[in-house]
Amino acid sequence: MEKLRGFEIAKGFEDKNINLPIRKTKYSAGYDIEAAEDVVIPSFKKGINPTLIKTGLKAYMQYDEMLLLYNRSSNPKKKGLILANSVGVIDKDYYGNTDNDGHIMFAFYNIKEEDIEIKKGEVIGQGIFQKYLITDDDNAKGERMGGFGSTNK
């Protein structure tokens, strides 16, 4: 069977009991993604960097697809968690990159007054595969040379 799109365990997480994402209902758009380890997200203070939550996952897809990472709808109200970049975009060429094998991470800020603890196996967000279009005059030829945040390097 030809592999079209899906999730795999990223290098370094093979023995960490990582669950591959699933859709909980037949009409769900998103695949629920879990935290790969326990992590504490500190309360927001001016100048603080977002906390990266590891998933232990990587995603493969077709040449004209991307994986979009969204927050859980309950996270802002219940836990005070907001995504630092609003929506994460995982490009096809992020998969298997030399820096981190395409390891997917969520970048969160905590807007509550107290630190928030996320436990391994807790659903932190969802991933939705989507097609994208390019313009008539597109001539992108660059190749990804790294991992997280490496597109312009």
Q: What number of other Cβ atoms are within 10 A of residue 33's Cβ?
A: 27
Predicted TM-score (pTM) of this structure: 0.91
pLDDT at 150: 52
Contact 65, 91 (CB under 8 A): no
Contact 67, 6 (CB under 8 A): no
DSSP per residue over 122-149, as a string?
Answer: -EEEEEEEEE----TT--------SSTT
pLDDT at 122: 98
pLDDT at 141: 84
- Tell me the pLDDT of the chain (153 aa) as tens digits: 889 999 999 999 999 999 999 999 999 999 999 999 999 999 999 999 999 999 999 999 999 999 999 999 999 999 999 999 999 999 999 999 999 999 999 999 999 999 999 999 999 999 999 999 999 999 988 775 765 555 555
pLDDT at 1: 81
pLDDT at 153: 53
At the second CATH level, the architecture of 6-131 is Distorted Sandwich (2.70)
pLDDT at 118: 98
